[in-house]
Amino acid sequence: MNKTIKSKIKEIVGNNNFFDSNEDRLSYSFDATPLYQQLPEAVVFPENKEEISKIVELANAEKFNLVPRGAGTGLSGGSIPVENSIVLVMTKWNNILEIDTANHTATVQPGVVTGTLQNEVEKLGLFYPPDPGSSSVCTIGGNVANNAGGLRGLKYGVTKNYVMGTEMILPNGKLLKTGGKNLKDVAGYNLKDFIVGSEGTLGILTKVVLKLIPKPKSFTTIIAFFDKMIDCLNADFSIIISFVTPAMMEFLDKTTLNCVEEYANLGLPKNAEGVLLIELDGRGEEVKEDTEIIKRIFTHNNASVIKIADTLTESSKLKAARRSAFSALARVKPTTILEDATVPRAEFPLLLEKVQQAAKDYDLLFGNFGHAGDGNLHPTCLTDERNNSEIEKAHKAFDFIFNETIKLGGTITGEHGTGLAKKDFLVNVAGIPGVEMMKKIKSVIDENNILNPGKIFSNSPRCEGTLPFNKNQIRPFNG
């Protein structure tokens, strides 16, 4: 990018909000996704909508690319710069503009940290359920762009279930508003839901209206350890068919448990093969009743240890085991490839079996944890990107895992997004007509392809040929 263009950008955002030293560019060349990195031309922190619109107009005129970015915790490479790009960091847009206790809504800027919003609304007796494991750092803008899930997805759903309205600058520089505070609104196409999950490719979010619900009156957190994996998975399945709906139902395998214990010293029994962490919430009586059912299921399925917490401190301690899973696994080897395979929830045990098979066949170390209640497993390969042959094996293992996931009726990503990491696999779940429709939409909204190009859509899809999607026609990813 030539100096004249950079000067024009600097004129728009001011010297204090423009960074292009090697150190600054390096700091924004990656996110939490391993194996991907690219230097941007510069990094800017726009302060108002006019500045964003002007940058967008300049990008169209001078043909450079823009990559919106929140906290950079994404796990599919969505905020990693692309060629000839400027990173637009939205973390300064961190004001909670309004908490409307009458309408149960929060209106926020996109850079508000998810955990901060949760804490603020809870002070008023309200509740914002989406709870990604990264909630202490990730932003609402990143959550909306990725349609983030999290630990409470089973009972409460994901980000899209709480987005009521959006405001964004389109790739042509114009401001688009969708939705608002109305609980019901069917005027025209549902553009709001279409924007959620668009991964920074259709516009730059500047405001979001979120639905809040009353804070549950009471809760219990229960953790159970199983000496045999089969018992753990049977307990998981028994809970699903018991019609109890926990707010949280999380799973950890032995590798993950051991890493967590070594990292956080929580006093957990390290010999367990499988762990289930449950949170029940709601009205007191209901929680008590459900706690008894869960305890019975755990005992019946030979849990070796069951711990129950009903104070906030004890509960946080139990949940720390799950929340620290990723960080704990990341200490084992230099490269942590965390994936996001998702199947219909009853197929979760079969998915886990396939991951174990891949680990064995390719002689790789995997830790497994995830949102068991949602059928969303995070198979995590602990490897070293300097070891080419091991990385090649890891790719083959994940090809196998995704192939098997789709055969089980699942999808390549339940919550992390397609971004760079999954784009080659998209056609396997969306089918050729689906991908074509998405590409057409992108080309109409972003005529010059300036906004986060190269994400979601692949130039070399792993599955070619004639799909509409049919499980039996899927070719192996590495074929």
DSSP 111-126: TSBHHHHHHHHHTTTE
Among 129, 142, 282, 379, binds ligand FAD (CB under 6 A): 142
Site string for ligand FAD, 390-429 (x = CB under 6 A): -------------------------xx-------------
Distances (CA, A) of 374 to 151, 153, 204, 211, 285: 9, 7, 29, 21, 25
167: contact with ligand FAD by CB under 6 A:
no
Among 12, 44, 71, 232, binds ligand FAD (CB under 6 A): 71
Among 46, 132, 165, 171, binds ligand FAD (CB under 6 A): 132
- In terms of Cβ atoms closer than 10 Å to its own Cβ (0-12, 13-18, 19+), residue 39 is middle
Point out which span in 55-63, 196-204, 249-257, 379-387 binds ligand FAD (CB under 6 A). Answer: 196-204
Per CB under 6 A, contacts with ligand FAD among 271-300 are: none
141: contact with ligand FAD by CB under 6 A:
yes
Identify which of residues 74 and 375 has a Cβ nearer to ligand FAD in the complex: 74
Beta-carbon count within 10 A of 190 CB:
12
Kindly state the smallest distance separating residue 371's Cβ from ligand FAD, in Å: 7
Give the residues across from 101 on adjacent strands: none
Residue located via tokens 């964004």: 168
453: contact with ligand FAD by CB under 6 A:
no
Per CB under 6 A, contacts with ligand FAD among 22-41 are: 31-32
Report how many residues bind ligand FAD under the rule CB under 6 A. 36
DSSP 138-187: -BHHHHHHHT---TTHHHH--GGGGEEEEEEE-TTS-EEEEE-S-S---S
CA dist 191 and 289 (Å) reads: 41
Give the residues across from 382 on adjacent strands: 336, 365
Give the residues across from 226 on adjacent strands: 274, 303
Point out which span in 16-24, 36-44, 53-61, 68-76 binds ligand FAD (CB under 6 A). Answer: 68-76
> Of how many residues is the chain composed?
479
200: contact with ligand FAD by CB under 6 A:
yes
Kindly state the smallest distance separating residue 472's Cβ from ligand FAD, in Å: 30
CB distance 271 to 339 below 8 Å: no
**Tokens read off for 225:** 């350890």
Point out which span in 44-52, 127-135, 241-249, 260-268 binds ligand FAD (CB under 6 A). Answer: 127-135
Q: Which residues bind ligand FAD (CB under 6 A)?
A: 31-32, 67-75, 78-79, 90, 110, 132-134, 138-139, 141-143, 145-146, 148-150, 199-200, 204-205, 326, 415-416, 452
